[in-house]
Amino acid sequence: MPEYARALVWFRRDLRDFDHAALYHALKRSRQVVCAFIFDRDILDMLPDPADRRVAFIHASVTELQQALAARGGGLVVRHGVARDEVVRLAAGLQIDAVFFNHDDDPAALARDAAVEAALHAGGIAVHHSKDTVLFERDEVLTAGGTPYSVFTPYRNAWLKRLTPFDLRAYPVDAYADRLTPQSSAIPSLQDIGFAAAERTLPTGMAGGAQLFEDFLDRIDRYRETRDFPAQKGPSYLSVHLRFGTVSIRQLAAAAWQQGGRGAQTWLSELIWRDFYHQILWHRPDVASGHAFKRQYDALPWPNPPGHFEAWCQARTGYPLVDAAMRQLNQTGYLHNRLRMVAASFLTKDLLVDWRLGERYFAEKLIDFDLAANSGGWQWAASVGCDAQPWFRIFNPVTQSERFDAQGTFIRRYLPELARVPEKFIHAPWTMPAAGQQRAGCVIGRDYPAPIVDHAVQRGLALALFRQAAPALK
C-alpha cells in the first residue's frame, strides 16, 4: 500500500518522464503525484546574457515534459521564483505529504536543497532524494582504503568491476503512471522570465535526445577513430541532454556496455569520466570555488598579460585552430571536446592566463555547462587538478591543428577569412610569403591577426612558471 496520499516531484536537471528515479519512487509510494518545475531566480538572475542558450533549451524541454506528462494523464506545475521558497509554498498549498527529487551535487544546489528540506520538515512534510544523474555517485566507488580516487584509470577499473546489469536497469515509471494527477499550470514565456529566444543549434527535449542517441548508435563503432576530429561527425552531441536529463544515463551506459567494441568502450569511458568528476566535486567542493585540486598550485603567479584573455575570448590569437574553436563556442554554445583541451591549454600554457578566467568564460558560454566537468577539465588542462595533464607536457597549437584538422576543413568553416589560404599554410598562415597572402586575400595583420605569442618562447615561460610551484619536479 502506498504510504503517502499526495506527493510532489520536483524536476530540476532531469527533464524527462521515463527512467526517472525520483518520479518512480514518488509514484510507487504515493496514491497521487503532482509534478513541478521552478525557473529558479537564484540561478537565472545571475546570467548576464538574455539570449542564454541554456535557458532556451530548458524552456523548450520543460514545455515538452509538460506535454508528455499530460499524455500520461498527469501535468506539470511551472513557477518562476526562488526555488527554495516556491517548493515549500507549493507543497503547503497542494497539501503534499512528501517531496521527491534527484540529487544535484553542485555546492550551491546542495545548500538550496538542505534549506528546502529543513523548511519542509518543519512543516511536517517528508523529503526523499535519489541518485539519478550519474551511475555511481559520492561514496559508491572508493579505494580499498575507503578514500576517493584522484586518478582516473584506477577509478574506471573499480567502476567497471562494480557495474552490474542491475545498475543499468531503467526505473519502470510506466507501472505506476496512473497515479499522476493532472495538476498543471501555464508555462511562463521566455520573455516573462527575462530572457529572449536564442538560436537553436541542437534539438531539445526528450525527442531531441532520442534523435541524437539513435543517430549516434549508428556511428558508435567508429567513435574511437572519429571523436578527435572536429570537422567530422564523431561526437554523440548528447552532452547538453545529459546535463539537463532529457536522456537517461542508465540508458546510454547500457547501450554502450551491451554493444561492446572499441568505439562503445571508449564512449563508456567518457561517461565514467563524468562520474569521476562528479565524485571529485562531492568530496572536494572547494574545486568549484576557484581552488585547485592540488592546493600547492592555488597561489601560482599567473602573469595574465594585458589583452591576452580578451584576444582568446574574441578569437584573435592568430592561431587558426584556437580561433576557430572560440568562434564555434561563441557562435553556437557548443565546443568539440578536443578543441576544449586545445583552447584551454593555449590560454594557460601559451598565454599564461589564470585557468579560472577560462573556466568562468566557458561557464557563461557552454550550452552543456556542467560545474563538475568544467572545473575538472580546466584543471586537467592547466595541470593543477586531479589526474592532470603533466605540467611539462604542453600542447603545440600548430601540431594539434595539423593532426586533427589536417585539411583545415574545420578552420575554414569558422574562419572564412582563411578560406583561400593553401593547405600548406592553413595551420600557420603567418609563414605564408607576402605574395601568397595577397593571392589568398588574407594579409596577416590586416585580414587575420599575427600570432599573439611565439609558442616556443611561451612554452619555456610556462615551464619556468610551474617549476616555481613544483621545485621537486625540476
State how far the Cα of 230 lies from the Cα of 221, in Å rounded to an integer. 17
C-alpha cell at 63: 514545455
Strand ranges (E), 142-253: none
Q: Which residues pair with 9 in a beta bridge?
A: 35, 100
Q: Provide the 8-state DSSP code for 15.
A: -
Active-site residue, selected from the candidate residues 355, 374, 380, 391: 355
Active-site residue, selected from the candidate residues 159, 267, 273, 380: 273
State how far the Cα of 357 lies from the Cα of 304, in Å rounded to an integer. 10
Question: Which one, of 415, 410, 240, 230, lies nearest residue 338 by Cα?
Answer: 230
Which are the contacts of 246, defined by CB distance < 8 A and separation ≥ 6? 15, 16, 61, 204, 205, 206, 208, 209
Active-site residue, selected from the candidate residues 337, 364, 396, 430: 337
391 is catalytic: no
337 is catalytic: yes
The rounded radius of gyration (Å) of the Cα atoms in the chain is 24
C-alpha cell at 38: 521552478
Buried/exposed 187-222: b ≥16 CB within 10 Å, e otherwise: beebeebebeebeeebbbbbebbbebbeebeeebee
Active-site residue, selected from the candidate residues 270, 364, 396, 430: 270
C-alpha cell at 360: 568562468
378 is catalytic: yes
Contact criterion met (CB below 8 Å) for 131 and 279: no
Active-site residue, selected from the candidate residues 378, 380, 391, 417: 378
302 is catalytic: yes
CA–centroid distance for 163 within its chain: 23
140 is catalytic: no
Active-site residue, selected from the candidate residues 137, 302, 396, 402: 302
Alpha-carbon dihedral 257, 260, 266, 270, rounded to 10 degrees: -10
Query: Helices then strands (H, E): number in the chain?
Result: 20, 5
Q: Which residues pair with 148 in a beta bridge?
A: 142
430 is catalytic: no
State how far the Cα of 65 lies from the Cα of 76, in Å rounded to an integer. 8
State how far the Cα of 167 lies from the Cα of 174, in Å rounded to an integer. 19
DSSP 67-122: HHHHHTT---EEEEE-HHHHHHHHHHHTT-SEEEEE---SHHHHHHHHHHHHHHHH
Residue positions annotated with a catalytic role: 270, 273, 302, 337, 355, 378
